[in-house]
């Protein structure tokens, strides 16, 4: 399938018509807002028909909407959104720019041999929600920060919506050394790779690739067509080597509620 066709499907499925548990979807003339019903936060992943003449009003409308809720929110700006200086405009209005990400996709109809081969590592699927926090200590160590809020979300998902998430850990001599998860969407066209952290002393031993392979194989069995990842600068060369192709780039811009 052509790059532009995959990107069009991604925009429709993962940005415009995304369905998430406990998230209210609100469509406006120019945006799609998602309001979290469990905590005071929202996100805004979709923008259409924006231009130099109307973008400042659109930004004002989004800020005003979430402010009246008392919510902070994330505006995810994609490289093919318009106008092309969108991120600079958001920053000028008070948004905090986060790191750039590269959105990559893998067509599971043609799974590369590196991901289709038997996995030589000890990779286990974790189904006990109570095990998540201990395993996320891998993330704490890898990134140097606490992930309490993320752990609470993952526990809730595994408890209430296990059909949409699969959590995995890779072990070395019985020690949990790497973890990651797979997020599915209703309909089965796309599934996303998330997490992917490895303890520093175990990096370079193939655990990250093993976790990608395990999730790719199981997603394909489930009938998923495309695997996606919001790749950081660290993970991008790894996933490209495994056959993922770049769709676009994206920047998370955070609005802190006042």
Task: Provide the residue count of the chain.
Answer: 258
- Does 118 share its domain with 236? yes
Residues 92-97: contacts with CB within 8 Å, 24+ apart? 93/59, 93/63, 94/255, 95/253, 95/254, 95/255, 96/253, 96/254, 96/255, 96/256, 97/251, 97/252, 97/253
Question: Contact 217/116 with Cβ under 8 angstroms?
Answer: yes
In order, the DSSP letters of 83-102 are STTHHHHHHHTTPEEEEEEE
CATH for 28:
3.40.630.30
User: Domain range spanning residue 88?
Assistant: 3-102+250-255
The tens digit of pLDDT for each residue in 130-172 reads 999 999 999 999 999 999 999 999 999 999 999 999 999 999 9
- Say if 107 falls within a structural domain: no
- Does 120 share its domain with 213? yes
- Does 33 share its domain with 79? yes
- Does 98 share its domain with 121? no
- Does 95 share its domain with 117? no
The tens digit of pLDDT for each residue in 209-257 reads 999 999 999 999 999 999 999 999 989 999 999 999 999 999 999 999 8
pTM exceeding 0.75: yes
- Does 70 share its domain with 134? no
Rounded CA gap, 13 and 189, in Å? 8
Question: Position of tokens 């399938």?
Answer: 1
Using CA atoms, how far residue 117 sits from 150, 156, 190, 192, 210, in Å, is 31, 32, 22, 20, 10
Question: Contact 225/108 with Cβ under 8 angstroms?
Answer: yes
pLDDT of residue 188: 75
The tens digit of pLDDT for each residue in 68-108 reads 999 999 999 999 999 999 999 999 999 999 999 999 999 99
């Amino acid at each position: 399938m052509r790059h532009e066709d995959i990107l069009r499907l991604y925009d429709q499925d993962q940005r415009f018509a995304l369905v998430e548990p406990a998230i209210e979807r609100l469509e406006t003339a120019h945006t799609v807002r998602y309001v979290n019903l469990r905590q005071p936060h929202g996100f805004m992943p979709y923008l259409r028909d924006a231009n130099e003449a109307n973008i400042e009003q659109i930004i004002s409308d989004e800020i005003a909407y979430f402010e009246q809720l008392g919510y902070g929110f994330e505006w995810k700006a994609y490289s093919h959104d318009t106008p092309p200086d969108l991120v600079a405009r958001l920053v000028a209005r008070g948004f905090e720019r986060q790191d750039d990400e590269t959105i990559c996709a893998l067509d599971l109809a043609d799974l590369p041999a590196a991901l289709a081969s038997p996995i030589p590592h000890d990779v286990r699927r974790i189904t006990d929600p109570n095990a998540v926090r201990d395993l996320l200590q891998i993330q704490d160590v890898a990134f140097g920060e606490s992930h309490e809020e993320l752990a609470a979300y993952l526990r809730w998902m595994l408890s209430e919506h296990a059909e949409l998430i699969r959590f995995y850990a890779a072990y070395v001599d019985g020690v949990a050394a790497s973890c990651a998860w797979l997020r599915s969407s209703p309909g089965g066209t796309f599934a996303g790779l998330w997490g992917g952290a490895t303890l520093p002393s175990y990096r370079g031993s193939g655990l990250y690739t093993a976790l990608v392979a395990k999730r790719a194989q199981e997603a394909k069995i489930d009938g998923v067509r495309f695997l996606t990842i919001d790749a950081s600068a660290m993970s991008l060369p790894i996933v490209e080597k495994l056959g993922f192709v770049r769709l676009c780039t994206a920047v998370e811009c955070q609005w802190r509620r006042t």
